[in-house]
Structure formats: structure tokens, C-alpha cells
């Protein structure tokens, strides 16, 4: 059966491979994967020019390249408490010279997006450290339960590509334990994965008393296949299942989507883009992202928010979609299974001349 949908979103992902920790400093132990944009923009165009022309920059993984910066993480107090505020300092320095990096691009209204997850992916937070005059990012936050955690510092130094180093830590001064994730794919009900979630203030996922929402998510195509363009179609509804059309912009867009692989080494961060192209699900494999035209983010919108992504490998992934309604954040998490590409299946053409900046 073929169904048509109003294509409301679809910005590219950010993808990286694993990094390690040594003496409180996060350094790459394997070269990260930097995505590249593919479009019909003229050869030699910048990523930003490509996005302006086509409305979206399609990305696929390219050959690994080394980070140009290094992340140093410190905490005050140094022993991270449970249930009490703790202040983190994140210092970004040049990987070769060791000199501090002080200038960063503003991406989706922030200089840094910091994603924090428990090592079993049972807990998620999206916070925004403030950049000080000395070039250090500082944020005060609270870790709710004891255990091991991983953070992903997502930033773009001025004049460079986006980088997302990782850092692992444990509460109470313990050594970080290896990630131990046992995920179970969410069950499809008809064509949707549907769950209830409680809203919360930004950066406070454990706050009580928020309104209840129903959020449905449809993977497109179904089943998902590694290495192929995909859409995660979210629909936000009230507690009774009525679709909402008054979502508010959150950090300059109508939603954000962070995706992690089961082993926590692969990180994807996708933002939606207002558009008005109809999409035929029956032709998902032939999707032409260049047909989507960029438009200003409306003051309100919904209920449908869609994210373009490309899963690099087969396996289980957890996706967190974030939306804003009546001043509160709705964080909706779903687990999806991504299958391996069939032998002989065509792969998207790659144009490594277009680096991605989201």
C-alpha cells in the first residue's frame, strides 16, 4: 500500500565513531566518521550554499578523519554526586598545538549541544553549556541516579568542521563501566510506534508534574535499512490522542532528534526543516532530497515533524525526538531495528567535496 504524507522536515545527521577517556581527558582512540553533504549545488559550493540551494544537504558517511580539537572535562566537585547540582567545565583545545579554541559557530541558537546518557541508554538529557571569555564551556546540571554515563559534546569551531568528542564518567568517584545496553525494539501498532510521555522544563528530564502527551513515530521506509536514506516521522498528540498543531519552535526549529547505536559509539543528530513536498512512501528508495525547499520556521506548527537520517550500520538504535509545547519540552524515545542492506543493493552516490554543518 502506498500512502502520501506532507513532508515537513529533513535535515542531515551528525555521525561519529567512538572516543576514549584517559586521565579525565577525552581523546579520540579511533578516527571519527565525518558526514559529507550530497546535493545538486554547483561543484565547489560550501555546505551552507548547498543547503540554501537545495533546501537540505543529504549526508552519507565518508572515510574517517581525525578530530582537530581535544576535549578536557573537569567537574566541581570532582566526585560527581547523585541528585545534587554539579558544575562541569569543558575545555576545547587544538589537537596539535594544545592552544585553547575560543571561537565557535552558533548552531541552532547554541555554541554547544551537550548530550548526556546513562550507559544503558535508560536516561537522556540535552543541555547547553555557556561559553566563557576564557574559551571554556561551563554548565551546572544534576545526575539523577548512580552509575556510569557518557556525554557527547557537539560543537563547530569557527572555520572548521563539526566535531563530537565523547567522554565517559561515573558517579561517586567510581571508574566508568563499559556500556551495557539491552534494547528491545518498540512494537508497531498499525504503521506507528506509539507511547505516552510527560513534558518537562528544558534540561530537567526528571522534573515532575508535566502534562502527558501521546507521541507516535513511523520509520520510513519500514523496515529501516542501513546505508539508505530514511525518515523518522513523529506525530505529537495530546493525552487523548488528538494531533497538536501548536508546537513551538525549540532552539530555532520545530524539533530535534538524537540517535545512538546500541553500543553507544554511533551518534546522529538531526534537525527538521520546514518544507512542502509530498512524499510517496512507495518510492522511499528513490527519495530526492533536493525537492524539499527550505522555509522559515513558523511560530507554531505540527503535528507532524520528520527527520532525514541515514543509519550507518545494521543493529538496534534508540532515537530521542524533542519538541516544545506550552513552554515545556516533550522528549519521546523509541527503539528501532535497522536491517542490513541486501547484497547487490544500490548505494547512494557520495560526493566528498561537501562537508556537513548543521
Among 121-135, 148-162, 286-300, the minimum mean pLDDT is found in 286-300
227 torsion bin: left (phi>0), alpha (psi -120 to 50), beta (else): left
Q: For 102-150, write each residue's pLDDT tens digit.
A: 999 999 999 999 999 999 999 999 999 999 999 999 999 999 999 999 9
pLDDT in the model for residue 315:
96
Between 341 and 196, where is the model more confident? 196
Give the three cell numbers for residue 207: 522534573
Give the three cell numbers for residue 240: 487523548
Q: For 15-62, write each residue's pLDDT tens digit.
A: 443 333 333 333 332 333 333 222 223 333 333 333 333 223 222 232
Q: What's the CATH number for 4-12+181-339?
A: 2.60.40.10
Stretch 340-347: mean pLDDT: 71
Q: Give the 3-state secondary structure of residue 27.
A: strand
Stretch 173-185: mean pLDDT: 89
The CA-atom distances, in angstroms, between 225 and each of 13, 129, 221, 222, 336 are: 16, 35, 8, 8, 11
The C-alpha atoms of residue 127 and residue 118 are separated, in whole angstroms, by: 14
pLDDT band at 299 (very low <50, low <70, confident <90, very high): confident
Q: What's the CATH number for 20-173?
A: 2.60.40.1930
pLDDT band at 178 (very low <50, low <70, confident <90, very high): confident
Scanning the structure block, which residue is given the C-alpha cell 522511499?
284
Q: Is 89 exposed, middle or buried (0-12, 13-18, 19+ CB in 10 A)?
A: middle
Between 238 and 34, where is the model more confident? 238
Stretch 74-101: mean pLDDT: 97
Task: Answer for the pair 340, 346: CB distance below 8 angstroms, yes or no.
Answer: no
The C-alpha atoms of residue 212 and residue 226 are separated, in whole angstroms, by: 33
Stretch 188-201: mean pLDDT: 96
β-sheet with 224-225: strand ranges across: 224-225, 328-339, 315-325, 256-261, 267-270
Q: Do domains 4-12+181-339 and 20-173 have the same CATH topology?
A: yes
pLDDT over threshold 50, residue 63: no
Per cent of the chain over pLDDT 70 is 71
Radius of gyration of the chain (CA): 20
pLDDT over threshold 50, residue 352: no
Biggest alpha carbon distance in the chain? 58
Short-list 271, 277, 200, CA closest to 232? 271
**Residues linked to residue 153 through DSSP beta bridges, in sequence order:** 114
pLDDT over threshold 80, residue 340: yes
β-sheet with 136-142: strand ranges across: 20-22, 25-27, 69-76, 85-94, 136-142, 130-131
**Residues linked to residue 335 through DSSP beta bridges, in sequence order:** 318
Among 78-82, 161-165, 218-222, 290-294, the minimum mean pLDDT is found in 290-294
pLDDT over threshold 60, residue 288: no
pLDDT in the model for residue 345:
58
Short-list 79, 80, 40, CA closest to 57? 40
Q: Give the 3-state secondary structure of residue 283.
A: helix
pLDDT over threshold 80, residue 252: yes
Quote the mean pLDDT of the chain. 78
pLDDT in the model for residue 296:
60
pLDDT in the model for residue 57:
26
Domain positions in the chain: 4-12+181-339, 20-173
The C-alpha atoms of residue 38 and residue 60 are separated, in whole angstroms, by: 8
Amino acid at each position: 500500500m502506498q500512502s502520501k504524507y506532507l513532508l515537513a522536515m529533513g535535515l542531515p545527521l551528525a555521525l561519529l565513531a567512538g572516543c576514549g577517556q584517559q586521565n579525565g581527558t577525552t581523546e579520540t582512540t579511533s578516527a571519527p566518521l565525518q558526514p559529507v553533504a550530497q546535493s545538486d549545488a554547483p561543484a565547489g559550493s560550501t555546505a551552507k550554499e548547498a543547503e540554501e540551494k537545495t533546501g537540505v544537504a543529504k549526508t552519507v558517511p565518508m572515510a574517517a578523519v581525525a578530530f582537530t580539537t581535544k576535549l578536557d572535562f573537569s567537574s566541581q566537585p570532582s566526585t560527581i554526586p547523585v541528585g545534587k547540582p554539579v558544575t562541569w567545565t569543558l575545555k576545547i583545545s587544538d589537537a596539535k598545538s594544545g592552544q585553547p579554541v575560543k571561537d565557535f559557530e552558533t548552531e541552532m541558537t547554541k555554541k554547544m549541544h551537550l548530550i548526556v546518557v546513562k550507559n544503558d541508554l535508560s536516561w537522556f538529557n540535552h543541555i547547553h553549556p555557556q561559553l566563557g571569555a576564557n574559551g571554556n564551556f561551563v554548565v551546572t546540571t544534576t545526575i539523577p541516579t548512580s552509575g556510569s554515563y557518557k556525554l557527547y559534546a557537539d560543537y563547530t569551531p569557527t572555520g572548521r568542521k563539526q566535531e563530537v568528542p565523547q567522554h565517559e564518567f561515573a558517579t561517586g568517584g567510581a571508574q566508568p563501566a563499559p556500556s551495557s545496553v539491552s534494547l528491545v525494539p518498540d512494537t508497531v501498532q498499525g504503521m506507528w510506534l506509539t507511547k505516552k510521555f510527560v513534558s518537562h522544563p528544558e534540561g530537567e528530564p526528571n522534573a515532575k508534574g508535566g502534562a502527558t502527551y501521546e507521541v507516535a513515530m513511523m520509520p520510513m521506509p519500514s523496515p529501516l535499512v542501513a546505508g539508505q536514506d530514511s525518515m523518522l516521522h513523529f506525530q505529537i498528540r495530546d493525552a487523548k490522542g488528538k494531533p497538536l498543531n501548536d508546537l513551538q519552535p525549540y532552539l530555532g526549529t520545530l524539533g530535534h532528534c538524537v540517535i545512538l547505536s546500541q553500543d553507544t559509539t554511533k551518534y546522529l543528530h538531526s534537525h527538521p526543516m520546514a518544507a512542502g513536498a509530498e512524499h510517496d512512501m512507495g518510492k522511499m528508495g528513490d527519495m530526492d532530497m533536493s525537492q524539499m525547499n527550505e522555509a522559515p520556521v513558523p511560530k507554531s506548527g505540527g503535528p507532524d515533524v520528520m527527520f532525514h537520517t541515514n543509519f550507518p550500520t545494521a543493529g538496534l538504535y534508540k532515537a530521542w525526538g524533542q519538541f516544545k509545547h506550552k513552554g515545556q519540552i516533550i522528549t519521546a524515545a523509541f527503539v528501532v531495528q535497522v536491517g542490513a542492506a541486501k547484497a547487490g543493493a544500490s548505494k547512494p552516490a557520495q560526493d566528498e567535496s561537501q562537508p556537513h554543518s548543521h
